[in-house]
């Protein structure tokens, strides 16, 4: 079995989420601050504007809390390693980002996150803060289109948060922000594969098990089941299998459509492999007449040293394209 | 022994360097093009300006060829995996970036690179192209200050190329570009540690061997010897040991000095660990009165799935600070 023998440069294995958040705040060089127990919020927020709050479990850095920044999220509620932020942390972050126009919660579809953000929203309502929620569920391999509410949120959250963050820098009402964030979600699909597990910081144990001669097709970032196991194969063989899962889904991708194409490493898969996969994928996309407005090749949605990759496609209409082209800056993703 | 069992998503193991370059060109979305055998060059180059050419072996992505971009390098000569670009590739890149004002070669101090870039410069001279060279040798653990010409070039090349790239977008003469690139080198120091090898794409074998209970202090990105092996330790213990090697070197770092601080993952070390190390390092830097102008936390100088980290410090004077603050955009590093 392919295993990860953990040998991590950390301190107390049970304090990783707190310590990495301290480090993350320092990485922002004064542009963001720590709030309460484990939230991070930008310092210069546009007055009288609706707020964009993201969040989720730690251990997947630079998401979620590393997507806070100019033209990105206003703040993030950070959970413990692989655990949703508890409601009091969601509330502290909500209070810190709210500027009287309400707060959009935008996060991936995991049961713990949904439960805790929902309770956070109730607590915020008691304080007079309007909260609306858009849930990211872009993983086509996690459930069929008819059961979208069961789909996981994976790497598509990066283009989605970028688009919602751009919207948050422009619009005046929470409803407008909700509308655009929902459209970004509706227009985004992802599929991931895994070749090796990462490690659990507290124990050093692998996050899951996977035989050496197989790839987990459609596997989630914690090793959740997807389509199933397929034999280890080449980049040229794998790219069309992944893209076919997106093409077979319910997002219309027609000739002439403009897209953002994001090739993500889940942790230790090297950029060399991402680039070789991009070389395999791009002619397939162009063969369908899709026009690639921007390509992203990076490791932004990770799970420790997990090996694997994901493809995400976001279809841009005129409104989303305009928002996409705005610059943004964060620890996780920066664009001129 | 800690080993890397390779399970890579590639095609022909002997074609990786060519295929990743194809992918890299695609990642630039039309802003750069492939030139000749294995070079990449930006399309919109400032006319009548001195050129900045970088390069080196493949397998360390996003360096070196991923540092091509606006406000970064004009082009790169790409070698095979872990091998210097041959002189004909250096020449093809040189011809493509030259705009009549000469070309600066800026690359890391490895014997093969020095030899091949020097021959490339001779070939370019025969074509009437003026070439000057600045060699990056920032690794304080690879030789004492008295033997700087034996030092390796490691992660400090990222701030150095950023500064030289900013200069290349501004200055009118090759001599000015040389002067600023040399100052960026003179003001930059790095030190790395390793905890696990990466893999050799052609064979799947580990790039070196390292016992499970030790850290290679000062180890180079191919596993080159540094200070020696130290027992595995915590982030809080490791950060001061690394910084002391930089503080003990011959770059004056005095209270009030402004610096760029770059925490780099060598491949599979997760951003969680980088952030926890930043948390440990930052108070030490501030305790010496250093002012951190910008922090970078990313994996930019890598060696496949090698685990380990490096710290790089670049001291900014007024001229370098102004250049630092210019925006830049590349696959490897982008700044608003």
Dist. CA A106–CA A108, nearest whole Å: 7
The C-alpha atoms of residue B281 and residue B207 are separated, in whole angstroms, by: 28
- pLDDT tens, A26-75? 999 999 999 999 999 999 999 999 999 999 999 999 999 999 999 999 99
d(CA A257, CA A254) in angstroms, rounded, equals 6
List the single residue in B195, B276, B304 with the smallest CB-CB distance to A16.
B276
For range B183-191, the mean pLDDT:
98
Q: What is the pTM of this model?
A: 0.98
Indicate the residue of A24, A234, A299 with minimum beta-carbon distance to B275: A24
Q: Per-residue pLDDT for B4 more than 60?
A: no
C-alpha atoms less than 13 angstroms from C-alpha of A60 in its C-beta half-sphere: 28
* Percent of chain A residues topping a pLDDT of 70: 99
**Residue B56, exposed/middle/buried by CB under 10 A (0-12, 13-18, 19+)?**
buried
Q: What is the band of A100 on the pLDDT scale with cuts at 50, 70, 90?
A: very high
CB A91 within 8 A of CB A123: yes
User: Which of A1, A22, A59 minimizes the C-alpha distance to A203?
Assistant: A59
pLDDT at A5: 63
How distant is the Cα of B272 from the closest Cα of chain A, in angstroms? 6
Say if B295 is an interface residue toward chain A (CB within 8 Å): yes
The SS3 call for residue B196 is strand
Q: Give yes or no for a contact between B4 and B207, defined as CB atoms under 8 angstroms apart.
A: yes
* ipTM tops the 0.90 cut: yes
Beta strands B75-81 and B69-70, pairing class: unpaired
CA distance B140 to B288: 19
Distances (CA, A) of B40 to A188, B15, B75, B322: 31, 17, 5, 28
**Helices and strands per DSSP (H, E), number in chain A:** 8, 14
Contact across the interface for B7 and A294, Cβ inside 8 Å: no
Please state the rounded mean pLDDT for residues A243-267: 98
Domains of chain A: 13-186 (3.40.50.10440), 189-330 (3.30.1180.20)
Distance CA B285, CA B79 (A): 37
Contacts of B261 in chain A (CB under 8 A): none
B276:A61 CB<8 A: no
pLDDT at B1 over 80: no
Strand order of the sheet with strand B228-231? B228-231, B214-217, B188-196, B307-316, B258-265, B291-298
Is B158 within 8 Å of B174 (Cβ atoms)?
A: no
A18: confidence class by pLDDT, cuts 50, 70, 90? very high
Select from A6, A59, A78, A271 the residue whose CB has the most chain B CBs within 10 Å, as the one to mutate to test that interface.
Answer: A271
């Amino acid at each position: 079995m392919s295993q990860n023998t953990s040998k991590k440069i950390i301190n107390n294995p049970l304090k990783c989420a707190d310590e990495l958040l301290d480090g993350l705040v320092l990485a922002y060089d004064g542009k963001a601050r720590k709030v309460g127990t484990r939230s991070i919020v930008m310092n210069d927020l546009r007055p009288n504007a609706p707020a964009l709050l993201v969040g989720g479990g730690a251990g997947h850095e630079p998401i979620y809390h590393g997507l806070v920044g100019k033209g990105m999220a206003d703040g993030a509620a950070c959970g413990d390693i692989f655990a949703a932020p508890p409601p009091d942390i969601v509330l502290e972050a909500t209070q810190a980002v709210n500027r009287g126009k309400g707060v959009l919660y935008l996060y991936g579809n995991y049961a713990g996150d949904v439960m805790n953000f929902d309770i956070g929203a109730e607590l915020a309502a008691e304080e007079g803060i309007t909260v609306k929620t858009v849930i990211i569920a872009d993983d086509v391999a996690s459930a069929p289109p008819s059961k979208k509410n069961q789909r996981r949120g994976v790497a598509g959250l990066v283009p989605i948060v970028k688009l919602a963050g751009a919207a948050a820098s422009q619009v005046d009402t929470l409803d407008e922000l909700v509308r655009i964030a929902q459209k970004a979600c509706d227009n985004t699909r992802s599929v991931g594969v895994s070749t090796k597990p990462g490690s659990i910081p507290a124990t050093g144990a692998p996050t899951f098990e996977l035989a050496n001669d197989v790839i987990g097709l459609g596997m989630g970032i914690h090793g959740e089941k997807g389509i199933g196991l397929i034999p280890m194969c080449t980049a040229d063989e794998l790219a069309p299998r992944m893209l076919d899962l997106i093409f077979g889904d319910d997002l219309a991708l027609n000739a002439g459509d403009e897209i953002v194409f994001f090739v993500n490493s889940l942790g230790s898969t090297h950029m060399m492999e991402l680039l070789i996969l991009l070389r395999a994928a791009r002619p397939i996309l162009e063969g369908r007449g899709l026009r690639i407005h921007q390509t992203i090749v990076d490791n932004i949605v990770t799970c420790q040293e997990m090996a694997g990759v994901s493809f995400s496609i976001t279809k841009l209409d005129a409104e989303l394209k305009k928002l996409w082209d705005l610059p943004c800056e964060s620890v996780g993703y920066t664009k001129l």
